[in-house]
Amino acid sequence: MLKLFLLFFLSLSLLPFISCSDDYESFVYAGCSETKYTPGSPYQLNVESLLTSLSKAAESSTYANDTSSTASSADPAYGLFQCRADLPISDCDSCIRSALSQLSALCPAATGGGVQLRSCFLRYDKESFIGKPDNTLLYKRCGGAAAGGYASNIFGMRDAALGSLTTAPPTGGSYRVGGAGYVQAMAQCVGDLSPQECSDCVESAVAQVKAACGFAVGADVYLGKCYLQYWSNGAYPSRHDHVDETGKTLAIIIGILAAVALILVFLSFIRRAGSRGKY
Ligand SMILES: *[C@@H]1O[C@H](CO)[C@@H](O)[C@H](O)[C@H]1NC(C)=O
């Protein structure tokens, strides 16, 4: 019994630890070009000045694009960043700093690279991609499958929640939130898209998330110029993190075992108390 109680407290103490990793700067994905630039080349200097200017822009805005050709106009470097548009500027700034340091560590000397953290995205390249829609699926994360009575109505809610993101008026912003019943959803486009292009990207994301994560109670999909997330209250709480789901399941199982143990102790106590009363 004692062992079970110990485990129970252990699992309780694990829980806050798990939710801590649900961080707005947590890593989602990164991509690097296969081609590398020559160290010391004018293009490298352009990339460096581009990234410096983007990191300056993040001190005052949640979106910016830039082109740098100061070192050589023949080899310009193009780049942009987008924070989740509801993020306070100070958090955006810190997210972009983190993205920049991860990008240089993950993509050393790459002619192009991009990194998506939970609430910001940053990319640079040798070819201009600014203002160009891109609905390519780059990364997806599917939650567990809906089960039991929950499954019967969750897909209707999911479809309604996702639909509310695409029916935003043409003047809809780059950041969209929606929901239906237990299901909440959000989408963020990169700020270089027009409202119509953003709606098209989100629409494509909706179709791709349904195809890729058909029965999931929650999922994230990241396209070239937009991303979308949906989650179900209570069923998929840690939607953004890299939490070890097995660890969490184990904690829940241990919690249930501990509860059963408590009930057994209680029952045997009652039985003993009852029999004591008899004699
Ligand atoms: C790029 O940035 C400039 C200002 O730096 C802005 O005027 C322009 O609209 C931006 N272009 C796009 C496609 O977002």
What are the residue boundaries of the structural domains of the chain, listed by start? Answer: 5-125, 137-232
Query: Do the domains spanning 5-125 and 137-232 agree at the CATH topology level?
Result: yes
Residue 178 alpha carbon to ligand 1 centre in Å = 28
pLDDT of residue 192: 96
Ligand 1 neighbour 65 (Cβ under 6 A):
yes
275 confidence band (pLDDT: 50, 70, 90):
low
Q: How far is the CA of 193 from the centre of ligand 1 (A)?
A: 11
Q: What is the mean pLDDT of residues 231-253?
A: 51
Query: Which ligand 1 atom sits closest to the C-alpha of 64?
Result: 2
Among 75-79, 145-149, 187-191, 224-228, whose mean pLDDT is lowest?
145-149
| pLDDT at 235 (0 to 100) | 54
Q: What are phi and psi of 10, to 5 degrees?
A: -60, -45
- Pick the residue with more confidence: 239 or 46? 46
Q: Say if ligand 1 is within 6 A of residue 192 CB.
A: yes
5-125 topology per CATH? Killer Toxin P4; Chain A (3.30.430)
Answer with the residue of higher pLDDT: 88 or 267: 88
> Which CATH code fits 137-232?
3.30.430.20
Nearest 5°: CA angle at 229, between 226 and 233? 165
What is the per-residue pLDDT for 173? Answer: 81
pLDDT digit string, tens, across residues 28-58: 999 999 999 999 999 999 999 999 999 999 9
Q: For residue 176, how far is its CA from the centre of ligand 1 (angstroms)?
A: 21
- Rounded mean pLDDT of 208-236? 90
Q: Which residue has the higher pLDDT, 255 or 238?
A: 255
Query: What is the reported pLDDT for 276?
Result: 53
Strand 226-232 and strand 219-223: the pairing is antiparallel
Residue 243 pLDDT > 50, yes or no? no
Cα 212 to Cα 79: distance, rounded to the nearest angstrom:
29
More confident residue, 18 or 222: 222
Q: Determine the pLDDT at residue 255.
A: 55
22 band by pLDDT with thresholds 50, 70 and 90 = very low
CA nearest ligand 1 atom 6, residue: 65
Of 13-17, 33-37, 139-143, which gets the smallest average pLDDT? 13-17
Strands (DSSP E) contained in the chain are: 27-32, 63-68, 77-83, 113-117, 120-125, 137-142, 175-180, 183-189, 219-223, 226-232
**3-class secondary structure, 263:** helix
Q: Buried b vs exposed e over 259-272: b needs ≥16 C-beta within 10 Å?
A: eebeeeeeeeeeee
In this prediction, residue 274 carries a pLDDT of: 59
pLDDT of residue 146: 77
pTM of the model: 0.75
Mean pLDDT of 18-24: 52
Residue 46: phi, psi to the nearest 5?
Answer: -60, -45
CB of 131 within 6 A of ligand 1: the answer is yes
The CB of 130 under 6 Å from ligand 1? The reply is yes
